Chains A and B, each alone.
Chain A
Amino acid sequence: MKLVVCVNHVPDTETKVNVNEDGKKIHPVGVNWMLNPFDEYAIEEALRLKEKNGGEVIALTLGGDAHKETLRKSLAMGVDKAMLLKDDTLRDSFAIGKALADAIKDMSADMILFGKQSIDYYDEQIPGIVGELLGIPSVSTIVKMEIADGKVHCEREIEGGHETVETSLPVVISAQKGLNEPRYPSLKGIMGAKSKPIEEKIPAAFPLKVETLAMHKPIASRVKKIIGTDDTAVPELIRLLHEEAKVI
């Protein structure tokens, strides 16, 4: 199988967010970056499919040179090849999806795997955009996948349950936590990743459809009332929830 995994490079989950001078983006100072956590599930799934069916796994990312770190991590986990669509300009999901789809369309991939969402902008759009641009189905937020007799069955999380989607290859999927348990890179993998080549391409420019006007830090105004230290505080808690907060 030819498997393409799209990976993103994002601020780590502990990052303190400050707004940049332009008032529109995160201030980059003091930010540590990491492979988008959901993309690890996508990489793991691709590696397992290759281990079972043979083939090749290609990791693909769009971004600046810093994204190479995420490609190295993907290589260390075991992907065969890495490609950087080198672009430092501001892009929205549509524009990223367009560049990814352009790069993937001539790869004759059987499956293109994504994380469910980037934990920077929480957009959850790129997998569907790439699927539609390539003219193939996309199944989002999957927690289970089986391929047999030319059919693909994916279980996806929905509100209050799961649904099973039937589709066929080639297909786009996006991985939700629970799909698998991602492996840790081995020492050998990490060493090997350092010397593997990263192919670079320059994607075509694409206009922005969604424009950020401003970024704000929310002002949390919480009551912060400690009511007591044991179950004797409960009547007062319930009273406050009923009469003051009016939520029950």
Chain B
Amino acid sequence: MKILVFTEQREGKFKRTAYEAISAGKKLATELNAELIALAIGNNLDAQVNEFGAYGISRVIVVADARLQMYSTTAYAKIIAEVAEKENAQIIFLSASQMGKDLAPRIAVKLDAGCASDCIALSVENGDIVATRPVYAGKATINVKINSAIKIFTLRPNVFTAKTTDAVTPTIEKFPVALTDADFASKVIHISVATGRPDVTEATIVISGGRGMKAPENFQLIEALADTLGAGVGASRAVVDAGWRSHDEQVGQTGKTVSPSVYIACGISGAVQHLAGMSGSKCIVAINKDKDAPIFQIADYGIVGDALTVLPAMVVEVKKLLGK
């Protein structure tokens, strides 16, 4: 049996989620006694893929082409499906990132495979791979198994831990794929970076603000704490709709789903639609003036107080802790 892990890179740099997927693949490969193969697509990736060895992967397939420097749904999906077919891989892992979720359904059709999206746990039960995934905005989880011969899983970022193990030197194989213009029927022609801060879906710490921040300029307090901690900045829908913050930052049912190690909610009431996006966080901190705000029901630690004075004090205290 073979497990193929698609490793995502943007502009030549592999993402942490790629290593998370490799580590999840490594664990499953050990349980199933399967061979693990990493697949990297892009241009000039040889130096970086060597580093995969630190995560215990011994075989890497690279598909390199100048036209693959930028993401193309059509071309990448074709390559992944071709490699999976050639290798006879029965299990395919992608990260449930914007790229992975874009690719997985197209690959599923090409390989006549079922796909379990946004998995938060994987186990082997009676020889079946059972995936756990949240549904109904995290109000429930389901366990699913895939009945098709080829099975695809996308893994929620920040849930599976990237683990270095005894380093190996991977063999790196070039895989030739003949690509025509038609394969680039859709392609990325431009990327713009939003803020330089980590995205809320990838950040290990997220600090979010809501209407209780009182005014858009007060988000500087959140940004200051975020930059001290290397955190991402999130927002409730109320402040996004008010135009205080951009849509990219919205956490919740109609925004992003996040699972950081710690989520700090400042001036957010904790409406069900907001909880939908962040209840999977490992630790939740709430700062809210109202002791009855629903956010305290799911918080680990809370301060019933004014976020506008608590946040600056947090910056001071965190700087002390970090010796900055």
Contacts and interface: CB of A to CB of B under 8 A. Distances in A.
Interface of A: 11, 13-17, 19, 24, 26, 37-38, 92-94, 97, 119-129, 131-133, 136-141, 143, 153, 156-168, 171, 176-178, 207-218, 220, 222-231, 233-235, 237-238, 240-242, 245, 247-248
Nearest to A160: B199
A122 B144 CA distance: 14
A224 B285 CA distance: 9
A122 B297 CA distance: 24
A50 to B, nearest CB: 23
Q: Is the interface of A mostly helix, strand, loop or mixed?
A: mixed
Nearest to A231: B313
B164 interface: no
B304 A138 contact: no
Contact of B304 (A132, A210, A218, A226): A226
Nearest to A141: B98
Contact of B279 (A37, A161, A162, A220): A220
The interface centre, meaning the residue of A11, A233, A248 with most chain B CB atoms within 10 A of its CB, is A248
A26 B202 CA distance: 30
A34 to B, nearest CB: 12
Contact of B305 (A24, A26, A153, A233): A233
Nearest to B185: A137
Contacts of A140: 98, 101-102
A164 B229 CA distance: 30
B104 A225 contact: no
Interface in B176-218: 185-199, 201-202, 205
B2 interface: no
B305 A167 contact: no
B114 interface: yes
B247 A143 contact: yes
Interface stretch (B26-34, B37-45, B52-60, B70-78): B70-78
B188 A237 contact: no
A213 B300 contact: no
B235 to A, nearest CB: 12
A131 B115 contact: no
